[in-house]
Amino acid sequence: MRKRSRTPEIIEAMSRAQQIAFGPFVFAACVSAKRLGMLKVLGQSGGLTREELAERMHLSPYGVKVLADMLVPAGVLRSEAGKLFLTKVGECLEWDPLTGVNLDFTADVCFKPLAHLEEAIREERPAGLSEFGPWPTVYEAMPHLPPQVLASWLRFDHYYSETAFREALKHLAGLAPRRILDIGGNTGRFCELALKALPQASVTLIDLPGQCAMARSNAALAGLGERFATAPVDWLDPEAMPETGGPADLIWMSQFLDCFSPDECRSILARAQRLLAPDGTIAILECILDNQDYEAAHMSLAATSLYFTAVANGNSRFFRRDELAAILADSGLDIEREIHPIGASHTLFLCRSAREDGAC
């Protein structure tokens, strides 16, 4: 594109394309500046020269200058009369908890694995996980991840799910469920919160045998006697059914269906309905890509989907609303209520069997 053909539209597109091409530099500069204390020192000052900043940070003037060279055009710092100041964007990067969780998740869990994204898509496996070790999925890798990687992963996971679980439980309390099945309950965190919030309820966690064992060793769940049980199952075996000991009045699935293909979802939902009492509810908590109020939340979900691709399992992504709605309709489930937002970006679907023969 020669200069004479540079219309404002092309200049803007070119500018955005270079922002993308240099995005990893901006990201790395922000993470480094934050971890080296540069954002904090600047935020607590009324503006500093590069030399003053270097002295306070016990860093070379070169280091401060080369970071500032990038952080100023990136909008994180402002340079005025020879002094550097932190912008609102810089304040978010330093002090906002959501931004901090996202930044650390990208830096520690996803950054180097993303170099394998093309391979992951081509081969339909989480090829980026090889940066940490030889595991087939992140679920097997979890207990062996380096401490900083695991810590950033857990903080990301908990930040989003903790608030969502607590808010969802307020809505579930109105249903006064007695027997709950937590399908895909993983570490048992939802079981823990549910047993606290709903003193009349008992919960059975249903997951792979490894996850069931992990949940049984969860100290907060031990000692609850008959109120907590586990039932192992591998839903990918199309005949498999967990032993739940009787119909449930509430089945809970949190970010569970998004781990499966549409056909697998239909098969799982058909079998799940056989575990449900006639008036029972299936409560599905999902992040729906196109249900988001903020552009940033939309991008956050799209990024998390790519984490599934490159690091986690190679085949998950968050649903668009029409995709999930079609699966539920195909499975004979009516959406009775749809509550959004739950937490930062989740949607809660309360569903009932439309078919009379759907319940046992």
- 106-288-104 Cα angle (round to 5): 15
d(CA 213, CA 229): 11
Distance separating alpha carbons of residues 29 and 91, to the nearest angstrom = 15
| Per CB under 8 A, 65 contacts its own copies | yes
Output the smallest distance, CB 190 to its own copies, in A: 24
b/e burial code for range 162-190 (CB count within 10 A of at least 16 → b): eebbebbbeebeebebebbbbbbbbbbbb
Is residue 326 part of the contact set for its own copies (CB under 8 A)?
A: no
- Position 277: which residue type? A
Amino acid found at 348: L
Subset of residues 337 to 356 that bind its own copies, contact rule: CB under 8 A: none
81 makes contact with its own copies (CB under 8 A): no
102 binds its own copies (CB under 8 A): yes
Site for its own copies in 254-273 (CB under 8 A): 261
Among 55, 96, 263, 334, binds its own copies (CB under 8 A): 96
Q: Any contact of residue 115 with its own copies (CB under 8 A)?
A: yes
Kindly state whether residue 20 participates in binding its own copies, applying the rule CB under 8 A: yes
Return the SS3 of 34: helix
Using CB under 8 A as the binding rule, whether residue 85 contacts its own copies is answered as no
Residue 154 sits in the site that holds its own copies (CB under 8 A): no
How far apart (Å, rounded) are the C-alpha atoms in residues 155 and 127? Answer: 23
Options 92, 142, 224, 270; binder of its own copies; rule CB under 8 A: 92
Stretch that binds its own copies, among 28-36, 162-170, 209-217, 273-281 (CB under 8 A): 28-36
CB 69, min distance to its own copies, A: 4
Position among 41, 109, 110, 342 found at the interface with its own copies (CB under 8 A): 110
Q: Mask 159-198, x = binds its own copies (CB under 8 A)?
A: ----------------------------------------
Where does this chain touch its own copies (CB under 8 A) — which range of 199-207, 224-232, 245-253, 305-313?
Answer: 305-313
Q: How far apart are CA 92 and CA 319, in angstroms?
A: 28
130 binds its own copies (CB under 8 A): no
Under a CB-based contact definition with an 8 Å cutoff, are residues 126 and 137 in contact? yes
Nearer to its own copies, 87 or 218 (CB): 87
Strand order in the sheet with 202-207: 228-232, 202-207, 179-183, 248-254, 276-287, 346-353, 333-342
With contacts defined by CB under 8 A, name the span among 178-186, 203-211, 246-254, 304-312 that binds its own copies.
304-312
- # residues near its own copies by CB under 8 A: 85
The DSSP string of 240-298 is -----SS-EEEEEEES-GGGS-HHHHHHHHHHHHTTEEEEEEEEEEEE-GGG-SSHHHH
The pairing of beta strand 179-183 with beta strand 248-254 = parallel
23 binds its own copies (CB under 8 A): yes
